Structures are given as C-alpha cells and as structure tokens.
Amino acid sequence: MSAIKSGAEVKPGSTEHLVLLALRPAGRIEASSLEERLGAYPSNAITRLCRAGLVARASGYRTVILTLTPAGLAACPARRDIPLTRPYARLGDIPPETHLS
C-alpha cells in the first residue's frame, strides 16, 4: 500500500481503518491491546498512519501507546464506528451478537 497523504485516503475496511476504529472510543490504546483485538500487530499500517499524522506513537519501557491525533479523529468520525473483527474474518466466523443490523 502506498503512503497515506490525508484521512480521506484511508479506505474503509482496510487495516489502517481498523486501527483508527480501535483508537476512536478512548483516543488511545496500548499496542498489545490492539494486537489482541485485531489478531496480529499491524506495524506497517501503524507506520503509515503515523507518517500521515493520523496516529502518534509513544514508547516506554515494554509499552507502546498509540494515540489518535485530531487529524485521525477527523478521518474516523463516530458515525463510522463498527464492531472490530479480524480483517480476514468471514461473516460466519463473527458471533451473531456483533452483526450489523
């Protein structure tokens, strides 16, 4: 995937979009929690989001915190919030209570 130049270029359903959705509710998340939610650590997507100014990354001793920037918040408004699933999950793998109505 090429570099993201603006929030408008984040494709819905992409790994980048899933990262933004994970950050949206609280505005920040530990990298380990993100990995648990997505089933893998999306390092390339996070790098692209950081370079585009949509996400900030801070490292501490054994912890990486990802924070949604104001530009990232604008690229992922609340009306787009959807339940998070692994990007490669099939509909049959998703519990019925998380299906969109």
Instruction: Give per-residue pLDDT as tens, 54-94.
Output: 999 998 888 889 999 988 888 876 544 445 555 544 545 55
Could you read off the pLDDT of 18-45 as tens digits, one per residue? 898 888 888 889 988 988 888 888 889 9
Question: Residue 8 pLDDT more than 50?
Answer: yes
Q: Judge whether 47 and 19 are in contact, CB under 8 Å.
A: no
For residue 65, give the DSSP letter: E
What are the sequence ranges of the domains in the chain?
9-77
May I ask the CATH architecture of the domain 9-77?
Answer: Orthogonal Bundle (1.10)
State pTM to two decimals.
Answer: 0.69
For residue 12, give the DSSP letter: T
Q: Side chain identity at 66, as an amino acid letter?
A: L
Nearest CA among 77, 81, 54 for reference residue 66? 54
